[in-house]
Chain A
Amino acid sequence: MIPAAFDYVAPDSLDGAIKALVDGGEDAKLLAGGHSLIPLMKLRLAAPSLLVDIRKLPGLRGVQRQNGNWRIGALTTHSELEFSPELGVVAEVAATIADRQVRNRGTIGGSLAHGDSASDLPTAMLICEAEVTLQGSSGQRTLPAADLFQDYLTTAVGADEVLTEIRVPALDGYGHAYQKFTRRAEDWAMVGVCAAVKVADGVVADARVGLTNMASVPLRATAVEDALRGQPATAESFAAAAEQAADGTNPPADLNASSEYKQHLARVLTRRALSEAAGE
């Protein structure tokens, strides 16, 4: 790898990191696991003047339960999530990311702050209705996941902000599934469907369905969710609701899939994800 020249700092405090970002100006970039930024630098599609490596920041790693929420430090790796089965859908989704080497280095904070439309954790955050904590030079704020993702590779994280923590409501009592469709095991999702379903007395009490790579940001398939609530938790219900999975979407075509094929996949994968989540 031969990137363009850059400076590098590894501050040992959050304040130090924020100050470095402010001082570094608009070409300063935060470096966490590096699995989004470094490939771009390798191709010279990104040429930051300064990398602010946050690996030394204290207290940004690990998972704790508090008041019905999971508090996940931004530097927690995909592997750590994958091997925390109590996280439910988050663990399941994390286990599908790329390959073992990437999961050992890549972090949840990096993935969310980068906002690649084909990445997996943003969709899980969306259906869990998670919130992220951002710390910047003008203080701290929290933001719902739905507001974090704005466009391709564009999130609400400010140039001087560090995403420090993710608060994920524990979906106790929900079954979950992530149907990720790829050509190869390690690939980005061609389409992914993340589902969490709560069933009571054979009836769908709540259903949440998120779509990966169907738009510039992760989407909720609200038509599917609305159609299912109160319906019997049967394969037939799921199949009928799944037909609406791509409604209102206009996914961009890419090398592997036309827009039409992605919409088809969204319907098939939604049906499968719902059935799997409900244990049908």
Chain B
Amino acid sequence: MSVQDAPAPSGHVGREVPRKEDPALITGKGRYVDDIALPGMLWASFVRSPEAHAKIVSIDASAAAQRPGIRAVFTGEDMADIGGPLPLAWAPPGVEIANPPHWPLARGEVNHVGDPVAVVIGDERYAVVDAAEDVLVEYESLPVVVDPEAAIAGAPFVHEELGSNQVHKWTQAGGDVEAGFAEADVIVERRVVNHRVTGAPIECRGVLADYRAGSLTLYSATQVPHFVRLFMALLLGLSEDQVRVIAPDVGGGFGQKLQVYGEELTACWASRKLGVPIKWIETRTENMAVGHQGRDQIARVRMGATKDGRIIAWHVEILADLGAYNMLLTPLIPSLGAFVMGGCYDIPNVRTDIIGVFTNKCPTDAIRGAGRPEAAHMVEVTLEQLAHELGVDPVEIRRRNFIPKERFPADVATGVTYDSGDYHASLDKLLQHVDLPAFRAEQVRLREQGIYRGIGFSTWTEICGLAPTRLFGPTGLGVQAGFWESALVRVHNTGAVTVYSGTSPHGQGLDTAFAQIAADKLGVDFDAIEVIHGDTSLGPEGRNTYGSRSLASGGEAVAKAVDKVVDKAKAIVAAQLEAAAEDIEVVDGQFRVKGSPDKGMALADVAGAAYVGDVPDGMEPGLEETTFYHPDNYVFPFGAHACVVDVDPDTGRIKVVRYVAVDDCGNPVNPLLIDGQIHGGVVHAIGQALYERIQYDAEGQLVTGTFVDYALPTAAEIPSFETDRTVTPSPVNSMGVKGVGEAGTIAGSAAVTNAVIDALRPLGVDYINMPLTPMRVWEAIRKADGTEVAR
């Protein structure tokens, strides 16, 4: 079904409802951590290592402590009473993970630039930052290892006591790749680098910890308040009911706030120690250095195919640079790509081997897409090279390999079951927007004028909606939690409705989506629905927001909780109107008896009856319901993207001139939100492909520590996006929805890269690793010049 074919939605779901979050945010009425102040609050500033690897010989805080307004300086040894090091929540069955302790304040040794060694507490922010400069730390430099390929080869070691820099080895294999390669007529090999990037949320991290009278309230700019509560309780020796974590308005996360950070723990610990609230607001400089980073994979990839273009073997060997420590999910992240390593394609033999390695750099962890952008990039750039080598059109080779829609739900070689897909429809729709024959004619014409224009495709799928615990949890992949989602829906006496979600959105617009879902099912005004999340003391336990899970898991939980409320309301109405419950329907905001449109009750009247106890015998009063929804599979959104670029062969400069995205996230709840997610996601991908890169020098110094050097793209670098959709409902949940938050990021970098290669093939260039900076492109052209003729 295409969008044009879809019936016009009768309610809120499916409509472009403007975001209910926006009026407050765009008029400056948002409430972020830094907007919150508590009486008697002190400020914290961290003393951070300027060295990438060193022993801490001594720390002299006397000068800092004597500065005016300074109340305390603490080091790692002062925090000896915490319950353990910072958590790693991945314990894959049968896999050994080297996991040296990662302390909130370093103990004895620092392992990357920015590693915190002390915290200064004082009356105001400027005073503590000044005082932190006066904490004298004597370091004894240790050998530094920055390059992951050098790190895996041997000494020096980030953690000397391990005698190795290897973190872990992990394999996912389906079929027999070597047997596949033996039968292949053509094999394409590549060294594909998915370089290191950061999340760069506009709001950096920040915490305000308030321990008083035996309980802790922590305001944190986090994506995961429930996980933070759990670990604050465990590490501070409190019970979870003594800890309340509040994520107020959060200004973006992009995975970087899916973490339990040492600064959070230190602020809580210091608040308990000093008996006053402690606030820490991260600077951009800190965020660039120590907010966890992502990607950083070097892969050897091998794709084998028959001469008619059927892919029969696909082997990916990833060396993942994990930085200096394991954080919450650090070594897991590359594995998330392994489950969709076969992309949209029917490949019988797929194998992913991952080796994680420590280096003296900031730890990596989830950044938007988390493993899946890397996987999509690898399969899509290799596939286009395969097409080139076989002389097959890149569109045609995709069609030959797509898993046909009849196969869904489709068991694939990577050991998961793709819930839904219609890849041909997606590509067909893309080609309605992109007239490929006309493009090819224009491309030739432009080359004669010296303009090298190229088109690149990315037909992608991903795995999201985390998750079925049996697959993702302790006995499956090994993440140490259950991954259901909760919702509580409360109809108040007046008929007003509050939806509590266990997710913790931070910019996605899910308040709007959840309210749309509830409004339609309850037949009430959208604006009368309040959505609350991100506060562990309000609503049930939750599993929060990451991995494009919040609609497919959290939205479904809302739907199920509302359904329960509706069922109860119908029973009350049936009793009141002397009808059968199954004859009650919700129409125009009224609970009505079918066939008797004049007999009905508004939700407010139903609630009134419920709260005065005027309910059927045996029914409890009140009108609220809770659901814990546990999906039985992941969801697998997909799509087809095309990018058109112009390359200036004299300078290597790339201009993105067109970007078309056809995405399928199942039934659309709010097309406006979907487009917003696609736009932002694709910008993220263009950033990775062309602009952004975290770089360290040979001494482990971060050399891209500001937005001058870390080149986030701006509006001037980005084209107007053209978006469209196909709708293939997911069978996993009742709403037929799939995630969309990471889609653009997963799809985009390959489309951009393929476009550049397509433009430059006449010059003999067949691959360039990201980021495709002007100098890299110029060097590739120069190196290839005359060495390969155009095919």
Q: Mark B110-128, 1 if CB is under 8 A from A, else 0.
A: 0000000000000001100
Are B651 and A268 in contact, CB atoms less than 8 angstroms apart?
A: yes
Asked if A268 meets B775 with Cβ closer than 8 Å, knowing A2-B283, A184-B711, the reply is no
Asked if A184 meets B714 with Cβ closer than 8 Å, knowing A257-B775, A261-B775, the reply is yes
In chain B, positions 121-164 with a C-beta closer than 8 Å to chain A are 125-126, 129-130, 133
Q: Mark A203-215, 1 if CB is under 8 A from B, else 0.
A: 0000000000000
Are A264 and B778 in contact, CB atoms less than 8 angstroms apart?
A: yes
- In the bound complex, how far is the Cα of B126 from the Cα of A258, in angstroms? 39
Are A43 and B285 in contact, CB atoms less than 8 angstroms apart?
A: yes
In chain A, positions 1-15 with a C-beta closer than 8 Å to chain B are 2, 4-5
Q: A186 in the interface, Cβ–Cβ < 8 Å? A: yes
Chain A residues near B695 (CB, 8 Å)? 255
| Nearest A residue to B654, CB-CB | A183
- In the bound complex, how far is the Cα of B779 from the Cα of A257, in angstroms? 11
**Contact for B775 among A99, A187, A256, A269, CB less than 8 A:** A256
- In the bound complex, how far is the Cα of B653 from the Cα of A179, in angstroms? 13
Chain B residues near A264 (CB, 8 Å)? 778
Chain B residues near A5 (CB, 8 Å)? 126, 130
B718 CB, min distance to chain A CBs, angstroms: 10
Are B717 and A185 in contact, CB atoms less than 8 angstroms apart?
A: yes
Q: A70 in the interface, Cβ–Cβ < 8 Å? A: no
Give the size category of B's interface with A.
20 to 34
Chain B residues near A268 (CB, 8 Å)? 650-651
Are B130 and A183 in contact, CB atoms less than 8 angstroms apart?
A: no
Chain B residues near A43 (CB, 8 Å)? 285, 706
Q: B713 in the interface, Cβ–Cβ < 8 Å? A: yes
Q: B539 in the interface, Cβ–Cβ < 8 Å? A: no
Q: Mark A74-113, 1 if CB is under 8 A from B, else 0.
A: 0000000000000000000000000100000000000000
Chain B residues near A174 (CB, 8 Å)? none
Q: Mark B706-744, 1 if CB is under 8 A from A, else 0.
A: 101101011011000000000000000000000000000
Q: Mark A177-191, 1 if CB is under 8 A from B, else 0.
A: 000010111111010
Are B129 and A2 in contact, CB atoms less than 8 angstroms apart?
A: yes
Asked if A184 meets B651 with Cβ closer than 8 Å, knowing A4-B130, A255-B703, the reply is no
B131 CB, min distance to chain A CBs, angstroms: 12
Q: B254 in the interface, Cβ–Cβ < 8 Å? A: no
- In the bound complex, how far is the Cα of B691 from the Cα of A256, in angstroms? 10
Chain B residues near A183 (CB, 8 Å)? 691, 711, 773-774
Q: A265 in the interface, Cβ–Cβ < 8 Å? A: yes
Chain A residues near B714 (CB, 8 Å)? 99, 184-186
Q: B480 in the interface, Cβ–Cβ < 8 Å? A: no
Q: B769 in the interface, Cβ–Cβ < 8 Å? A: no
- In the bound complex, how far is the Cα of B129 from the Cα of A255, in angstroms? 29
Are A187 and B711 in contact, CB atoms less than 8 angstroms apart?
A: yes
Are A184 and B653 in contact, CB atoms less than 8 angstroms apart?
A: no
- In the bound complex, how far is the Cα of B717 from the Cα of A261, in angstroms? 22
Chain A residues near B775 (CB, 8 Å)? 256-258, 261
In chain A, positions 32-59 with a C-beta closer than 8 Å to chain B are 43-44
Can you sample 10 A-B contacts with CB below 8 Å?
Answer: A2-B126, A2-B129, A44-B133, A181-B651, A183-B774, A184-B691, A184-B711, A184-B716, A264-B778, A268-B651
Contacts from A to B (Cβ < 8 Å): 2, 4-5, 43-44, 99, 181, 183-188, 190, 255-258, 261, 264-265, 268-269
6 closest cross-chain pairs (CB), A and B: A185-B716, A2-B129, A268-B650, A261-B775, A183-B711, A257-B775
Contacts from B to A (Cβ < 8 Å): 125-126, 129-130, 133, 283, 285, 650-651, 653, 691, 695, 703-704, 706, 708-709, 711, 713-714, 716-717, 773-775, 778-779
Beyond contacts A181-B651, A255-B709, A268-B651: 18 other A-B pairs, Cβ-Cβ < 8 A, are A2-B125, A2-B129, A4-B130, A4-B133, A43-B285, A43-B706, A183-B691, A183-B711, A183-B773, A184-B713, A184-B714, A185-B714, A185-B716, A185-B717, A186-B714, A186-B716, A261-B775, A268-B650
